[in-house]
C-alpha cells in the first residue's frame, strides 16, 4: 500500500490528458486525499504536446513530486518531449498505448529499466466501448482506478456532473470506457500492488484552485478595486478572474491596449485612492518598469504580480523559471527600493498576496509578487482557510487637522506621510515623476533630492525585521543549510525531510520577502553554517548573487541552480547535500590529522 | 457633481502658487489661462478635479492649477487618467500634454481611449516641435522642417491630430489657439461639459524653437472660425473634410460634437456593477468559489 503516488501523463493536444488530470485530482479531493496537479504544454495554441503531473497523498503535498510512480504515455513522441519534467526511474510503472506497436521491452526510454511496463490498447478500448477514441482519457482514469484504487466512484461522479448538460448518451459512453479501463486493470494486476491507502479525512471540505486564481481572490479579499493589465502567458488568468468577479465588489478592470497602459491605469487608480494592481510575465515586467519607477517616486501603493517564465524575451513562455529575480529587484532606473515577495505554493499565495497589498499600502510603494508558472498554473487541494486571521492594512490618510495646510510628502519619524486623493477637500497636491519637495513642488535641488531619496529608502528599514516573512525549518544550529524560495521551496522542504530522515543535521530558510534583502535574518541563519546551498531555478544563480551583494556568505555556501524546464527533484537536492556533508567531514578529518 | 453654483469660483481659484518654467511669450501661458476660465465657468471645486499630464514643456501644466495634479511619465497621461476615472467616476478628469507626448511616444493610447469613450477631456498643446529637449523634430512638424535632428529637412509627413481623433470616432473634437483666448476658454469649457471623450488641439506657439509662421501673427493670418464659416458640428464628414487642411489653415472652434452622445465607459461600468452586485458574496467568503463538493 502507498501513501503517496505521482502520476505523469502525456499525449497530444486533443487527447484530453490534462482534463483527465483534473478529473483525477478532483476525485482524489472528494475521497479526502491531498493533491497537486501541474500542467505543461508545448507553446502551440491547439494540438502539440500536452502533459500533466498529478501527485496524490494522504498528507499535505509540498510539491509536484520527484520521479514518477506511474507514467502514462498515449504516444511516445509527445511523452519524450517533456524530458526531465516527466522523469521515469526504476520504481516507475509505465503504462502506454499498445497501438504504438512498440514491444514492452523496447520502449524508447534510455538508461532506465522501469519497475513494470504495460502496453494497454487504450484507443481500441475507447473506440469499442464509447464509439470514439476521444474517450481515451476516460479509459486511462479507469486504469488508474483499477490499479491504484483512486476514484473508483468519484471519477465518474465528477464526469457525470461535467457532462450532464451534454446528454445521458455521452455520460453512458464515458461510463463504459471507464469501466473497461478498470476491468482491464483488475484483470491484469501489477506485479507489486500499488494501491493507495484510504484517506482518514474523507468527507472534509476541500478547495481546489491554482496560483493565478488564488492571487486574484486574495487581491479582492485585500480590498483591491482595480486591475489594469494586458494578456500574457502565464499570468493572464489573474485578469480573467478579475473580469469575472471584481464588479460584484464595486471594482473594475481595464484590459488595456498594452502592458504600459495596464500598469499606467493601475497607477492612476491608486492615485485616485483605490487599491489597485496589475499582473504580467517576463516581457511585460520589462515594459512596466518605467511606471514602477513612477509609482516609487510618487509614493503610490501598487501591487504587480509577475508570473515568471523562462526568459529573456519570449524565452520559454510556458515553462517555469525564477530568472526574473534581478529584474524584480532592480528594474526601473534610479535609486529605488521596491519590495519583492514570493509565494511558495497555491495555499500561501493567499497570504503572500494580502501581505503584498499591506506592504504596498503601509509603505506607499509598488510591491512585486514573484509568482512562477508552476505555482500559477498548478492546482492544489487546500483545506479551508480562515480569512478572519488576516489583517488588512489601508494607506495612512491625512486627518482633518493635517488637511489644513496639507503637505503630501511631509517628513515624519517613520518617513511615511499621510496620503490624500482626488475628491478629498484640502488634500490637493501635485504627484510627479520629477523630484519634488515635501509639498510636491518640482525641483532640481541636490539637497532636496538627497533628502527625499533618504525618505523613500529609509522607510523600508522596518520591513527587513519582519521575521514572519521568513520560514526556518530543521535544526537551527545545523552546519549544513539550504535557502530556497518560490516553487523550488516546496521541493526543498521535501528534501529537508528526506535528509533529516537519513540523519543529516541540516536546516532550510525560505524567504517570502526577497527584497530588500533582510541582512539580519540571513546573518543569524548563516551563523552556524559551514556548508550550504542557495537553490534556484535560474541559469545565473541569481539568488546566490543577490544574497552575496548584501551578505558575507560563509565560504562553503554555494549556488545550486538550473534554468527553466529542468526541474529539481527532491532527490537531486539530497544528493547535493550528501556531497557537501562528505566535504565537511573530510575537512574535519583534515583538522584532526594535519598533514605533514 | 457638487452642489456648487456656477458663480462661486473665479479663474484665480484654479491658479496655483508655482511659477511656470515656460519661456516668456510661450503660448502655454494662454492655455492655462483658458483652462482657469473654463473651470471657473463650470464651477467644480478644485479638489474634485484630477489633471494629468506626461512629460514636456506643456506637461508642466497640472502643477500650475489648484486641482489634484499628476505630472507623470512621457506619453502616459491617458492611461493614468483612465485609471483615475475608473477608480472614481465622479471626478472631472483632464489630461494635457504636447504633440510629442500625445502623438509620438504616447500615440498608441489615444485610439483606445476614444473607443472606450471615457468622460475625459484631452488638451494637446501642439507646437510642432520638441521644446523641453531643445528643438527636435516632432510628429506634427511639417515635411521639410529643419531642426537640430533634421539639419537637411524632415523626410516625414506630419501626423494630423484632428483627422486622427475624428477617424477613431471621438465624440467631441475642437481646435483652439491663444490668438483667441475667449474662444479657447469657451471651447475647453464645452469640451469638459461634453459627456464622453473630448479632444481639443491647441495651436500653442513655441517662441524659442518655433518658426515665424507658427507665431501668433502667422497663426492669425491662417485662422478662421468654424462657426463663422457656418460649419455644422454635427456633421462628422464635413468635420473630416475641414480637418484635412490642418497645417495650411487653422480652423478654430468645434469640428465635431456627437449630437447624440452614446453611454460612456463609466455608465457601462456602473450598469455592470449594479447587475452583478446583486449576487455578491461578502469578500471574506471569496474562497468559497474554490470549494469542490
The residues pairing with A430 across neighbouring beta strands, listed in sequence order, are B69
Please report which confidence band the pLDDT of residue A594 belongs to, taking 50, 70 and 90 as the band edges.
low
* pLDDT one-digit tens code per residue, B50-100: 999 999 999 999 999 999 999 999 999 999 999 999 999 999 999 999 999
Tell me: pLDDT of A140 over 60.
Answer: yes
Instruction: State the alpha helices, DSSP H only, in A190-258.
Output: 211-221, 236-245
Write the CATH number for B76. Answer: 3.40.50.970
Contacts of A208 in chain B (CB under 8 A): 290, 292
Decide if B111 and A425 are in contact by the 8 Å CB cutoff: no
Q: Write out the residue limits of the CATH 3.40.920.10 domain(s) in chain A.
A: 4-187
* B74 domain-assigned: yes
* pLDDT one-digit tens code per residue, A79-129: 999 988 999 999 999 999 999 999 999 999 989 999 999 999 999 999 999
**Interchain contact A217–B (C-beta under 8 A):** yes
For the segment A527-552, the average pLDDT, to the nearest whole number, is 98
Decide if A250 and B273 are in contact by the 8 Å CB cutoff: yes
C-alpha distance from residue A431 to each of A34, A100, A422, A584 (Å): 49, 66, 11, 56
Decide if B84 and A272 are in contact by the 8 Å CB cutoff: yes
Most B-contacting residue of A201, A205, A229, A264 (CB-CB within 10 A), to test interface: A264
Q: What is the DSSP track for B117-185?
A: T-SEEEEEEE-SSBTTTTSB--TTPPTT--BTTBTT---SPPP-HHHHHHHTT-SEEEEE-GGGHHHHH
Q: Which domain holds residue B107?
A: 11-263
Rounded Cα distance between A221 and B290, Å, is 14
Contacts of A423 in chain B (CB under 8 A): 47-48, 88, 90-91
φ and ψ at B78, to 5 degrees? -70, -45
For the segment A359-384, the average pLDDT, to the nearest whole number, is 96
Q: How far apart are the first and last CA of chain A?
A: 56
Decide if B76 and A425 are in contact by the 8 Å CB cutoff: no
Residues 164-193 of A with CB under 8 A from B: none
Q: How many CB pairs under 8 A join A and B?
A: 202
Contacts of A205 in chain B (CB under 8 A): 291, 293
The rounded percent of chain A whose pLDDT value lies above 90 is 90
Mean pLDDT rounded to a whole number for chain A: 95
Most A-contacting residue of B60, B86, B102, B278 (CB-CB within 10 A), to test interface: B86
Closest CA to A510 of A453, A564, A472, A455: A472
Tell the residue number behind the cell numbers 534554468, with chain if given: A563
Report, as ranges of residue numbers, the positions in chain B whose pLDDT lies below 70: 1-7, 293
The gap from C-alpha A183 to its chain's centroid, in whole angstroms, comes to 38
Contacts of B291 in chain A (CB under 8 A): 205-207, 384
Please report which confidence band the pLDDT of residue A242 belongs to, taking 50, 70 and 90 as the band edges.
very high
Buried-state track B54-66, b at ≥16 Cβ within 10 A, e below 16: bbbbbbbbbbbbb
pTM, two decimals, is 0.95
Considering its fold, how many domains does chain B have in total? 1
**In this structure, CATH architecture of domain A468-592:** 3-Layer(aba) Sandwich (3.40)
For the segment A182-206, the average pLDDT, to the nearest whole number, is 90
DSSP state, A222?
A: T
* B200 domain-assigned: yes
Decide if B287 and A387 are in contact by the 8 Å CB cutoff: yes
Decide if B71 and A429 are in contact by the 8 Å CB cutoff: no
Most B-contacting residue of A287, A430, A444 (CB-CB within 10 A), to test interface: A430
The rounded percent of chain B whose pLDDT value lies above 70 is 97
pLDDT of residue A232: 97
pLDDT of residue B4: 47
Instruction: State the alpha helices, DSSP H only, in chain B.
Output: 27-42, 77-87, 99-100, 107-116, 161-167, 181-193, 216-222, 236-243, 265-277
* B274 domain-assigned: no
The fold for domain A4-187 equals Pyruvate-ferredoxin Oxidoreductase; domain 3 (3.40.920)
* pLDDT one-digit tens code per residue, A107-116: 999 899 999 9
* pLDDT one-digit tens code per residue, A374-390: 999 999 999 999 999 99
Please report which confidence band the pLDDT of residue A48 belongs to, taking 50, 70 and 90 as the band edges.
confident
Picking from A245, A290, A422, the nearest residue to B73 by CB comes out as A290
* pLDDT one-digit tens code per residue, A197-209: 998 877 778 899 9
Instruction: Assign domain A208-389 one CATH number from 2.40.50.140, 3.40.50.970, 2.60.120.260, 2.20.25.240.
Output: 3.40.50.970
Tell me: pLDDT of A277 over 90.
Answer: yes
Rounded Cα distance between A483 and A489, Å, is 8
* pLDDT one-digit tens code per residue, A400-448: 999 999 999 999 999 999 999 999 999 999 999 999 999 999 999 999 9
Q: Write out the residue limits of the CATH 3.40.50.970 domain(s) in chain A.
A: 208-389
Residues 277-296 of A with CB under 8 A from B: 290-291, 293-294
Amino acid at each position: 500500500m502507498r501513501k503517496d503516488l505521482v502520476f505523469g501523463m502525456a499525449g497530444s493536444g486533443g487527447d484530453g490528458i490534462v482534463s483527465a488530470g483534473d478529473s483525477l485530482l478532483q476525485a482524489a479531493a472528494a475521497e479526502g486525499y491531498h493533491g497537486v496537479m501541474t500542467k505543461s504544454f508545448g507553446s502551440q495554441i491547439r494540438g502539440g504536446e500536452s502533459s500533466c503531473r498529478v501527485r496524490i497523498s494522504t498528507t499535505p503535498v509540498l510539491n509536484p513530486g520527484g520521479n514518477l510512480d506511474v507514467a502514462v504515455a498515449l504516444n511516445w513522441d509527445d511523452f519524450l518531449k517533456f524530458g526531465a519534467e516527466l522523469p521515469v526511474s526504476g520504481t516507475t510503472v509505465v503504462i502506454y498505448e499498445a497501438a504504438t506497436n512498440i514491444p514492452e521491452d523496447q520502449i524508447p526510454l534510455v538508461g532506465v529499466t522501469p519497475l513494470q511496463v504495460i502496453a494497454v490498447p487504450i484507443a481500441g478500448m475507447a473506440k469499442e466501448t464509447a464509439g470514439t477514441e476521444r474517450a481515451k482519457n476516460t479509459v486511462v482514469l479507469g486504469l488508474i482506478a483499477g490499479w491504484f484504487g483512486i476514484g473508483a466512484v468519484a471519477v465518474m461522479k465528477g464526469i457525470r456532473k461535467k457532462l450532464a448538460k451534454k446528454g445521458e448518451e455521452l455520460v453512458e459512453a464515458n461510463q463504459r470506457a471507464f469501466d473497461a479501463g478498470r476491468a482491464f486493470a483488475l484483470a491484469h494486476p501489477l506485479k507489486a500492488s500499488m494501491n493507495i491507502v484510504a484517506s482518514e479525512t474523507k468527507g472534509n471540505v476541500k478547495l481546489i484552485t491554482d496560483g493565478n486564481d488564488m492571487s486574484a481572490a486574495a487581491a479582492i479579499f485585500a480590498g483591491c478595486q482595480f486591475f489594469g493589465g494586458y494578456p500574457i502567458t502565464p499570468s493572464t488568468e489573474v485578469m480573467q478572474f478579475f473580469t469575472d468577479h471584481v464588479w460584484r465588489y464595486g471594482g473594475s478592470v481595464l484590459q488595456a491596449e498594452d502592458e504600459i497602459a495596464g500598469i499606467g491605469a493601475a497607477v492612476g487608480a491608486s492615485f485616485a485612492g483605490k487599491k489597485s494592481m496589475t499582473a504580467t510575465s517576463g516581457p511585460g515586467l520589462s515594459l512596466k518598469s518605467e511606471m514602477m519607477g513612477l509609482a516609487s517616486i510618487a509614493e503610490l501603493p501598487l501591487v504587480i504580480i509577475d508570473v515568471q517564465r523562462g526568459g529573456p524575451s519570449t524565452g520559454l513562455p510556458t515553462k517555469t523559471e525564477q530568472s526574473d529575480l534581478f529584474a524584480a529587484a532592480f528594474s526601473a532606473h534610479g535609486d529605488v527600493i521596491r519590495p519583492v515577495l514570493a509565494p511558495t505554493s497555491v495555499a500561501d499565495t493567499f497570504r503572500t498576496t494580502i501581505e503584498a497589498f499591506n506592504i504596498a499600502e503601509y509603505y506607499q510603494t509598488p510591491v512585486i509578487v514573484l509568482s512562477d508558472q508552476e505555482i500559477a498554473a498548478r492546482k492544489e487541494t487546500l483545506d479551508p482557510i480562515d480569512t478572519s486571521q488576516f489583517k488588512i492594512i489601508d494607506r495612512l490618510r491625512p486627518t482633518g487637522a493635517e488637511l489644513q495646510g496639507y503637505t503630501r510628502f511631509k517628513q515624519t519619524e517613520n518617513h511615511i506621510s499621510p496620503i490624500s486623493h482626488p475628491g478629498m477637500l484640502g488634500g490637493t497636491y501635485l504627484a510627479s515623476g520629477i523630484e519634488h519637495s515635501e509639498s510636491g513642488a518640482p525641483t532640481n535641488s541636490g539637497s532636496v533630492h538627497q533628502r527625499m531619496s533618504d525618505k523613500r529608502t529609509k522607510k523600508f528599514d522596518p520591513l527587513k525585521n519582519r521575521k514572519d516573512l521568513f520560514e526556518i525549518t530543521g535544526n537551527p544550529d545545523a552546519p549544513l543549510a539550504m535557502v530556497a524560495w518560490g516553487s523550488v521551496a516546496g521541493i526543498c522542504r521535501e528534501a529537508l525531510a528526506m535528509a533529516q530522515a537519513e540523519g543529516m543535521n541540516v536546516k532550510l530558510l525560505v524567504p517570502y520577502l526577497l527584497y530588500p534583502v533582510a541582512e539580519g535574518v540571513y546573518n543569524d541563519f548563516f551563523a552556524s553554517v559551514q556548508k550550504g546551498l542557495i537553490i534556484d531555478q535560474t541559469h545565473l544563480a541569481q539568488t546566490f548573487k543577490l544574497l552575496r551583494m548584501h551578505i558575507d556568505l560563509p565560504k562553503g555556501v554555494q549556488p545550486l541552480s538550473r534554468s527553466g524546464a529542468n526541474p529539481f527533484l527532491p532527490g537531486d537536492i539530497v544528493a547535493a547535500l550528501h556531497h557537501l556533508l562528505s566535504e565537511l567531514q573530510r575537512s574535519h578529518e583534515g583538522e584532526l590529522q594535519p598533514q605533514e | 457633481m457638487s452642489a456648487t453654483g456656477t458663480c462661486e469660483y473665479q479663474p484665480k481659484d484654479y491658479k496655483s502658487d508655482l511659477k511656470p518654467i515656460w519661456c516668456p511669450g510661450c503660448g502655454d501661458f494662454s492655455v492655462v489661462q483658458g483652462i482657469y476660465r473654463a473651470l471657473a465657468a463650470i464651477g467644480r471645486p478644485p479638489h474634485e478635479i484630477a489633471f494629468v499630464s506626461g512629460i514636456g514643456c506643456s506637461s508642466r501644466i497640472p502643477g500650475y492649477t489648484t486641482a489634484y495634479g499628476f505630472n507623470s511619465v512621457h506619453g502616459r497621461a491617458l492611461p493614468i487618467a483612465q485609471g483615475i476615472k475608473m477608480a472614481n467616476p465622479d471626478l472631472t478628469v483632464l489630461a494635457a500634454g504636447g504633440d510629442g507626448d500625445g502623438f509620438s511616444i504616447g500615440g498608441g493610447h489615444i485610439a483606445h481611449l476614444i473607443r472606450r469613450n471615457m468622460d475625459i477631456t484631452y488638451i494637446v498643446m501642439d507646437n510642432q516641435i520638441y521644446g523641453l529637449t531643445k528643438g527636435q523634430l516632432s510628429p506634427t512638424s511639417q515635411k521639410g522642417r529643419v531642426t537640430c535632428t533634421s539639419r537637411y529637412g524632415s523626410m516625414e509627413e506630419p501626423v494630423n491630430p484632428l483627422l486622427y481623433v475624428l477617424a477613431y470616432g471621438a465624440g467631441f473634437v475642437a481646435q483652439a489657439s491663444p490668438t483667441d483666448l475667449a474662444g479657447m476658454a469657451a471651447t475647453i469649457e464645452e469640451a469638459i461639459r461634453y459627456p464622453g471623450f473630448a479632444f481639443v488641439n491647441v495651436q500653442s506657439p513655441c517662441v524659442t524653437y518655433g518658426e515665424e509662421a507658427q507665431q501668433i501673427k502667422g497663426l492669425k493670418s491662417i485662422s478662421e472660425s468654424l462657426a463663422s464659416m457656418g460649419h455644422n458640428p454635427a456633421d462628422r464628414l464635413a468635420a473630416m473634410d475641414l480637418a484635412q487642411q490642418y497645417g495650411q489653415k487653422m480652423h478654430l472652434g468645434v469640428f465635431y460634437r456627437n449630437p447624440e452622445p452614446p453611454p460612456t465607459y463609466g455608465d457601462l461600468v456602473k450598469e455592470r456593477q449594479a447587475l452583478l452586485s446583486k449576487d455578491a458574496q461578502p469578500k471574506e467568503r471569496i474562497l468559497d468559489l474554490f470549494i469542490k463538493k
